[in-house]
Amino acid sequence: MRHKNRNELRKVPAAAIREQERFQNHPTSGADVLNKLTKFETIGFLLMTRIPLAREQWERVAKQADFSPAKVALLFCISERHLQRIFKQHFHCTPGRWMRHLRCRLAKQLLSRGLRTKTVAAQLKFASSSHFCREFKTFFGASPQSFALKPRKKSGKD
């Protein structure tokens, strides 16, 4: 069985091309689009050369991809399977699990600032507020309401 030559293996998937076109047609300034594409191309190069990314960079990309491993893979022009290999090597878990944990950590920060449960669920792209509460409780062992800022009771003494 003959292997494909290296040039054929490096072809960009059609889905990645469509995603880049979507970014180019987005109603932002041309400089913003170029900066985004340059960042992703740079990060893609780092992935291909096996230079690990910092956790903060992964978090930033996950937020931009709406916490979807499939979208992260598209942004880097790599397969989901290759993304799984990278996460297994650097984080010792799957991309989906890592992104669920990231969302729960971010949710805890937002709740401690005083945001409501429904607002946090919407900002972090959970399917519903009940889905958010279930994930949060699985991760922390307590409901999101227990981490929310409690209003201070006014004492009778002034």
pLDDT averaged per 10 residues in sequence order, the chain, 158 residues? 48 56 48 49 53 77 91 88 90 93 94 92 93 93 82 54
The pLDDT of residue 55 is: 81
The pLDDT of residue 102 is: 94
* Cα 69 from Cα 63, distance rounded (Å): 11
Indicate the residue among 77, 92, 107 that finishes a domain.
92
Give domain status of residue 155, yes or no: no
Of 73, 76, 75, 74, the C-alpha closest to 84 is 73
For residues 58 and 110, state if they share a domain: no
The pLDDT of residue 141 is: 92
For residues 103 and 85, state if they share a domain: no
Of 56, 54, 55, 58, the C-alpha closest to 69 is 58
Give domain status of residue 38, yes or no: yes
The pLDDT of residue 147 is: 79
The alpha carbon of 31 is separated from its chain's Cα centroid by a whole number of angstroms, namely 23
> What does 47-107 look like in DSSP terms, one character per residue?
HHTTPPPPHHHHHHHHHHTTT-HHHHHHHHT--HHHHHHHHHHHTSS-HHHHHHHHHHHHH
For residues 22 and 85, state if they share a domain: yes
For residues 18 and 74, state if they share a domain: yes
For residues 15 and 85, state if they share a domain: yes
C-alpha separations of 102 from 55, 58, 121, 124, 139 in Å: 10, 10, 13, 10, 10
For residues 87 and 112, state if they share a domain: no
For residues 86 and 120, state if they share a domain: no
The pLDDT of residue 146 is: 87
For residues 69 and 86, state if they share a domain: yes
Structural domain count of the chain? 2
The pLDDT of residue 103 is: 94
Contact 105, 58 (CB under 8 A): no
For residues 14 and 37, state if they share a domain: yes
CB atoms under 10 Å from CB of 1, counted, come to 2
Domain that holds residue 142: 98-147
Tokens at 93, concatenated: 């878990």
Q: Which residue has the tokens 């893979």?
A: 73
Q: What is the CATH number for 112?
A: 1.10.10
Give domain status of residue 154, yes or no: no
Give domain status of residue 156, yes or no: no
